[in-house]
Amino acid sequence: MAAQPDAADGSGGQRQACVELGGAGVAQRYAWLENLLPPVEEVRPGLWSIPVPWPGSSLRYTLAYLVSGRGGPALIDTGWPTDEGWDALAERVAQTGHDLTEIKYVLVTHAHADHLGMAGRVREASGALVGMHPAESTILLHRVGLQTWRERLFAWLGARGAPDDQRAEIADLMSGAVAFHARLARADFDVEDGGLPLGAGTGLRAVWTPGHTPGHLCFYDERDDVLLTGDHVLPRITPHIGLPPGAEGDPLGDYEASLRALVRYNPAEVLPAHEYRFADLGARLDALLSHHRTRLAEVEHAVANDPGLSTWAVAEALTWSRGWEQTRGGSRHSAVSETWAHLIHLQGRQRVINTGLDRDSWTPGPRCSAAD
C-alpha cells in the first residue's frame, strides 16, 4: 500500500470523523474511506475504541482499546511512539471519562512499535503493568545494536539474491525503524494462551495466534462477545507474514493454523487494530486462507516455470498490489520476507527445494505435481 499523507485540519492535526452512524463499524469505515481519523467510540459498555494517529503511515492510525474494570482501566495496545500520538492518546482516553494516570494494565497484542510503542510511557505516567506473550518478550530480549542488525540484514538479503545496491538501499531506509524498536518497553508479566490477564472474574481472555509475530495475541471478551484481533485479522488487508533475518520456523503454517483455531469463535463483532471493526469473522477467515492458498500456488508456479530462481527473483515474479517496481526500502524487504516465508512453507511440504548454498536457488520438489 502506498503511504498517504494524513488529512490535516488548519492546526496541523488529523481531521476527525464526526459522523453519528448506526451499525457495526459504520463510522470507522466511513472515516477510513474518507481518509479521516475515526471518533472515539464506546463499542460496548466500558469498552472503548481509541484511534491513535500514525504519521507517515498508509495505515494512518492504530486502534487502541480501553477496558474499564474493577481494578481500574486497562489499555490494549498504545500506538506509534510520537509526541502527536501521545497527546492524542491522552486526550482520547479523557473522552472515556478516565485519565492516562489511572491506567493499571497495558496488554500488548504484539511487540511492533505501532502497538507496543507507547507502553513504556504509559507505565511511567501511571505505574501500569505491561503484559505480553512470552514469545514477544523473547524477541525483545534478543534485540541487537544497529550495526549488528545492518550486517545481519545485508547478509540475509544477499543470501536471498538481492543486488548489492538494493541491499544498501533497504538497510539505509529501514534504519530509522530499528531505532524505534530499540526503545520498546519490556513486559512486567507474561500473558499466556487462555489466561485472564485482568484477573479472575473478568471476561477478557487471551488467545495466542502466532503468525504475524511468534507471540501475537488476540483477546476475546466473553461477556460482550467481541474479539480483539490486533493485526491477526483485519477487515481489508492481509497482515505481513514474513521470516526476518535469523528467524526460523514456519510462520505461514503458524498463521494458517491460528486462523483455523479462531473458527470456534463466532463473535458479534471483530475489533481489529487497524482500519475498522466488522462482523462475520468466519467469512474473513475464509478469505485470508484463500488468499494464501492462491499466493502459494503463484509462488510454486514461478519456481516450476523457471527453476533456479533466488527468493528475490521469485518475489519479483509475483503479483503485488502496487507492483514490484513501486516497492522500495521497507516495502521491498517485506515483499521478499513474505516470499521467503511462503517458500519455506512449500519446502516443508516438499513442493520446492532450495538447492543453493550461499545464495538461494529454488527448484521444484518431489511433490510439486502431486495432489495435496
Residue 117 lies in a domain: yes
CATH number of the domain residue 243 falls in: 3.60.15.10
111 shares its domain with 150: no
How confident is the model over 90-104, as a mean pLDDT?
A: 96
Residues 137 and 232 in one domain: yes
pLDDT at 13 over 60: no
List Cα–Cα distances, 174 to 245, 329, 330, in angstroms.
Answer: 13, 7, 6
Q: What is the pLDDT of residue 247?
A: 86
CA-nearest of 109, 334, 343 to 240 is: 334
Mean pLDDT of 66-74: 89
| pLDDT above 80 (res 48) | yes
234 and 172 inside one domain: no
Strands 217-221 and 129-132: unpaired
pLDDT of residue 79: 96
217 and 239 co-located in one domain? yes
DSSP state of 27: H
> What's the pLDDT score for residue 122?
97
Do residues 159 and 227 both lie within one domain? no
Which among 289, 322, 346 is the end of a domain? 289
What's residue 18's pLDDT? 40
Residue indicated by cell numbers 521469485: 314
- Whether residue 48 sits in one domain with residue 91: yes
- Identity of the residue numbered 262: L
Among 244, 264, 289, give the residue marking a domain's end.
Answer: 289
Average pLDDT, whole number, for the chain? 89
Assess if residue 118 is contained within a domain: yes
Q: Which grid coordinates belong to 228?
A: 480483539
Which region among 52-61, 102-111, 217-226, 343-352 has the lowest average model confidence (pLDDT)? 52-61
Q: Annotate 89-151 with DSSP letters as a single string.
A: HHHHHHHTT--GGG--EEE-S-SSHHHHTTHHHHHHHH-PEEEE-HHHHHHHHT---HHHHHH
Residue 243, SS3 per DSSP: coil
**Do 151 and 195 share a domain, yes or no?**
no
The domain containing residue 78 runs over which residues? 26-142+185-289
What secondary structure letter does DSSP report for 237?
A: S
Residue bearing the bigger pLDDT, 326 or 100:
100
Whether residue 251 has pLDDT greater than 90: yes
Q: Do 158 and 112 belong together in one domain?
A: no
Q: What is the DSSP letter of 39?
A: P
- Same-domain status, 196 and 240: yes
83: three-class secondary structure by DSSP: helix
pTM of the model: 0.90
Residue 284 CA to residue 262 CA, distance in Å, equals 11
Q: Is 102 part of any domain?
A: yes
The answer to whether 287 and 235 are in contact (CB under 8 A) is no
Q: Which of 289, 319, 343 is the last residue of a domain?
A: 289
Rounded mean pLDDT, 267-272: 97
- Averaged pLDDT for residues 248-260: 97
**Higher local confidence (pLDDT), 35 or 143:** 35
Q: Does 314 map to a domain?
A: yes
> Does the residue 8 lie in any domain?
no
pLDDT score, position 362: 98
The number of beta carbons lying within 10 Å of the beta carbon of residue 195 is: 17
Mean pLDDT of the region 118-134: 97
Distance of alpha carbon 64 from alpha carbon 157, whole angstroms: 34
Whether 78 is covered by a domain: the verdict is: yes
Tell whether 170 is covered by a domain.
yes
Count of domains forming the chain:
2
Whether the CB-CB separation of 2 and 58 falls below 8 Å is answered with: yes
All three cell numbers of 37: 481519523
Q: State whether 196 and 324 are in the same domain.
A: no
Residues 155 and 218 in one domain: no
In this prediction, residues 191-211 reach a mean pLDDT of: 94
The C-alpha cell at 229 is: 484481533
pLDDT attached to residue 369: 52
| Model confidence at 32: pLDDT above 70 | yes
Would 296 be classed as within a structural domain?
no
pLDDT of residue 273: 97
Looking at the fold, whether 102 and 196 belong to one and the same domain comes out as yes
43 pLDDT more than 50: yes
